[in-house]
Amino acid sequence: MALNGIQIFKLTPKKNCKECGSPTCMAFSMKVAQGAVDISACPYMSDEAIAQLSEATAPPMKTIKIGTGDAEYSLGGETVLYRHDKTFVSKTRYAVALCSCMDAATVDAKIAELQKVDYERIGERMYVEVIYVNYDAASGQDAYLDIVKKAAATGRTLVLNCEDVEVAKAALEICKDGKPVLNGANAANYADMSAVATAAGVVLGVKGADLNELHDTVEALEKAGNKNLIIDVTGPDLKATFANAVQIRRAAIKNEDRTFGYPSIVNTVAVAKGDRYMQQALLALFTMKYGSIVVVETLDYAEALPLYGMRQNVFTDPQKPMKVEPGIYPINGGGADDICLTTVDFALTYFVVSGELERSGVPCNLVISDAGGLSVLTAWAAGKLSSTTVADYIKANVEDKINCRKLIIPGKVAVLKGDIEAKLPGWEVIVGPAEAVQLVKFLKDLTA
């Protein structure tokens, strides 16, 4: 049987394989073609056949790994251009730029600032994952190596932006164990840079004056045996940078040009230097349009919150609702003696309700139970939000932690009030407002 033009059961099988008309072979081949199973799972395939088919059935974009341990990230591996076609595979990673042209105080301040961006939202840790360390030849090698040491000490994954082979080699001696990206290959030095990156076992970043030069340089690196690459799509201006990012991704996925089938780096500092707000806008743009690593000059906590929230939406499976973890969430310093409110675990509901509760200024406890990630009325209609589920969760997780015996339920499920009171002896069940925006006045009136 042939798959992608390769006779998969006619290439020196390790054992006697069944004829290609066998139902077993046919079913397995179809699963391989659909991406449901890896070709290496077949015990009868020869090494030659597995190698050929692994290459033929791989995604049009190669998956590249950078970093180590908890800081290891997958880049690339995408199979579609648009999120509504299929879920994106590898999320965009955000990088803050340092430069050897900066003085020590500035570098220390930027490192301290980027480490403040670190919080959790809907079960996902959101922080600056990458530090981009730019080499300025005028400052010399020693200044650059000092900054590399400081950046490596943070535990974040590094991108070493350096086109000087000797300086790059010295920098990698400091941080190669953290598997950084060496972003320094171009048409003039790619052979030497490839040797340095290969020796250190790190990903090599490729640059070019235009798409033609990029393509030729990547092609030459592939012929030399290096396919552990990432493409720096940054152009001389914003228009060229955006065009490069889009055209390279389209060439890889739509035109199946595997030479361009690699993740990308976008350096917004190069096209909007000093314009902090433009860089934030570009960070959002290239999150949606094909940046694997996007670099900005700075990113503080207030700026990061909407950007990471947007990234989470873009890179979340639309078929799976975003949920918050069930539990008791104290609001405004709520404690054991403060009133309880309950709602579902649908992330949007949680953020809307908790925001209004915070705005009220009233200390309280928001009790979230498992409702399958559905909204209030949908969960009620599906049986995920019922008097039984609410009462059981309160008994198991709340009664021994909270002294107050007042519980506010969503106004849209007021019908549950009587049943919940019957199943929770000693509790006073209060029907809340139908809309979250009414919670501020409701709580203030209730506690007046």
Q: Are 128 and 93 in contact (CB under 8 A)?
A: no
What is the enclosing helix (H) or strand (E) of 253?
A: helix 238-253
Give the torsion sign (CA, 335, 336, 342, 343). Answer: positive
For the chain, residues classed under CATH 3.20.20.20 are: 63-314
Helix (H, G, I), strand (E, B) or coil at 122: coil
Decide: 426 and 398 in contact? Cβ < 8 Å. Answer: no
CA distances from 234 to 163, 245, 289, 332 (A): 15, 8, 13, 45
Distances (CA, A) of 235 to 64, 84, 166, 185, 269: 22, 28, 25, 15, 11
Distance CA 369, CA 353 (A): 14
Q: Would you give per-residue pLDDT tens digits along the chain (448 residues)? A: 444 444 444 434 444 444 444 445 666 666 766 666 666 677 666 777 666 666 666 778 999 999 999 899 999 999 999 888 888 889 999 999 999 999 999 999 999 999 999 988 877 889 999 999 999 999 999 999 999 999 999 999 999 999 999 999 999 999 999 999 999 999 999 999 999 999 999 999 999 999 999 999 999 999 999 999 999 999 999 999 999 999 999 999 999 999 999 999 999 999 999 999 999 999 999 999 999 999 999 998 888 989 998 998 888 877 677 889 999 999 999 999 999 999 999 988 998 999 999 999 999 999 999 998 889 999 999 999 999 999 999 999 999 999 999 999 999 999 999 999 999 999 999 999 999 999 999 999 998 7
CB 78 within 8 A of CB 90: yes
Alpha-carbon distance of 240 to 237, in angstroms, equals: 6
CATH number 1.10.15.40 is the correct assignment for the domain at 2-57? yes
Class of the CATH domain delimited by 327-447: alpha beta
**What is the CATH code for 63-314?**
3.20.20.20
| Sign for the pseudo-dihedral over CA of 229, 234, 236, 241 | positive
* DSSP-derived secondary structure letter, 18: P
Q: For the chain, first and last CA: distance in Å?
A: 77
Tell me where in the chain the CATH 1.10.15.40 domain(s) lie. Answer: 2-57
> Residue 238 corresponds to which tokens in the numbers above?
């914003």
Task: Read off φ and ψ for residue 396, nearest 5 degrees.
Answer: -80, -30
Domain with CATH 3.40.50.11600 in the chain: 327-447
